[in-house]
Structure 1
């Protein structure tokens, strides 16, 4: 297979590698970041597989390892087709594990039809940071690794406005200290103080008016009580 690949034109721009966004990174099977154990060999078809190459295991427990910085990872490969020197379809089984998370097993029951660029693993959402993907083949001649996509951490792609000089201290508006935070927490807004003062003045004026009215009413009642009635005047004349 390697000799056949050497005779084929290797213009990677003609191969159907998927387009990626700014937060995605594509790692082809030939990328040096993928570390293979013994038991892998090169294969692939130009025009059908990304980069025109794949890596396949020819023995059980062969492993491939990729370290990446991101929040998720996906693995794509080629499955199906007839077994070498046989008309029987190929069944495959492999496991995929990120860090200490439970391993996920991919099982392909076999089909004579070849399926290219098939997603064979997708990790759950990961915490931003460095992670390690471990691929393990459980049977021989079954795992055809094409490429890997991982999603970069947001922290690894900072905006220019977020970039600051490490030697400069943050301003008080960006990082308030504990004392300033406590002061601002208990300080009443100016508008609240003004409204409270106005309401207090209005209440005081109302109380004064009520007192004045009450005193005026008592004075009127006393004045009425001092005026003699006609009957009392007649009695005073007769005496």
Structure 2
């Protein structure tokens, strides 16, 4: 059983009515995208093959309204009513709803906006579903997953900005993290804190006991001490099969682990192993699971512009999307 992640902007998710949903997003959110609606009766429909599913999003408070209900195979399975908060807060990676255990097979989830609201307060971000059928799917492996192994010297952290609200950090020389998986692609994401010299961390990655190569810190033109989240630390294209990746802290600066993405392989994606530093691999605005070619985008929803606002002012942070065809 594996956990597959699907972005809100995946073409597998169908939104109705046309124009009833708006595309937004920030760097903290998965693939830097979300979808929201203020229209009574608007729906998001997603068909999946699995045994359970969960829906995650971003919530802006305070809020007193029930805003969405969830139906699986036309049966009402639950609803989301945001908790009341005293101040205007933004919660990322919030679990909106999770299903009961389902019969293994194909199911249809329909999310319905069940009231008309005056402001966007609830944003769909991503789906996680458990399945035994993972070929060519993007498998999500959180830092807390027991298949991720850590040496001594790692600390478990909890923060709103982390996926599943957890991450691990190492600040000791030669601390390592290891993941063994079946697939033909792996990527590691985590927070990055800018050091006093402008650098963020110094680490190496080794795959299948091969010679270690450097992990390049994403470019950061920010003041020392600034932390950015959901940063791609490294990715690698591999031949299909079983692989082990080991990332090692080389100098004792803070090295974070938030989550791994793995593509469950099929024979059509065979390629030689190569480690792609974040300086050449696309940012989370581009879907790295779309194919084996570096820089290939998701056809329907590539981000082409970011407009105004800060992360703290959620309603003014907009992303325009276009179909390049």
> What is the TM-score with the length of structure 1 in the denominator?
0.51
Instruction: Tell me by how many angstroms 1:102 deviates.
Output: 3.7
Q: CA RMSD in A?
A: 3.2
Residue from 181, 204, 213 that aligns with 1:68: 181
| Contact kept? 1:88, 1:112, Cα under 8 Å | no
Verify: 1:55 aligned to 2:149, yes or no.
no
Partners of 1:16 and 1:56 lie apart in 2 by 28
The SS at the match of 1:51 is helix
Residue from 62, 70, 79 that aligns with 2:192: 79
Q: How does 1:34-183 map to 2 (within 5 A)?
A: 34-46=148-160, 48-81=161-194, 91-108=200-217, 111-123=224-236, 125-154=237-266
C-alpha change, 1:131 and 1:58, in structure 2 (3 Å) is: same
| Contact kept? 2:153, 2:172, Cα under 8 Å | yes
| Contact kept? 2:188, 2:232, Cα under 8 Å | yes
Partners of 1:91 and 1:141 lie apart in 2 by 7
| Contact kept? 2:154, 2:168, Cα under 8 Å | yes
Higher relative contact order (CA 8 A, sep 6+): 1
C-alpha change, 1:81 and 1:43, in structure 2 (3 Å) is: farther
Name the counterpart of 1:197.
none
C-alpha change, 1:132 and 1:16, in structure 2 (3 Å) is: farther
Instruction: Tell me by how many angstroms 1:97 deviates.
Output: 1.6
Instruction: Tell me by how many angstroms 1:153 deviates.
Output: 1.4
Instruction: Tell me by how many angstroms 1:71 deviates.
Output: 0.3
Residue from 68, 85, 95 that aligns with 1:13: 95
Which stretches of structure 1, 4 residues or more, deviate above 2 A after TM superposition?
9-12, 14-22, 87-91, 100-104, 106-113
The SS at the match of 1:112 is coil
- For structure 1, the 5+ residue unaligned runs are 1-8, 156-239
Instruction: Tell me by how many angstroms 1:74 deviates.
Output: 0.3
- Higher helix proportion: 1
Partners of 2:165 and 2:229 lie apart in 1 by 11
C-alpha change, 1:11 and 1:75, in structure 2 (3 Å) is: closer
Instruction: Tell me by how many angstroms 1:104 deviates.
Output: 2.7
Name the counterpart of 2:24.
none
| Contact kept? 1:73, 1:149, Cα under 8 Å | yes
Partners of 1:17 and 1:66 lie apart in 2 by 26
Partners of 1:90 and 1:42 lie apart in 2 by 23
Partners of 1:40 and 1:80 lie apart in 2 by 16
> What is the TM-score with the length of structure 2 in the denominator?
0.38
The number of equivalent residue pairs is: 141
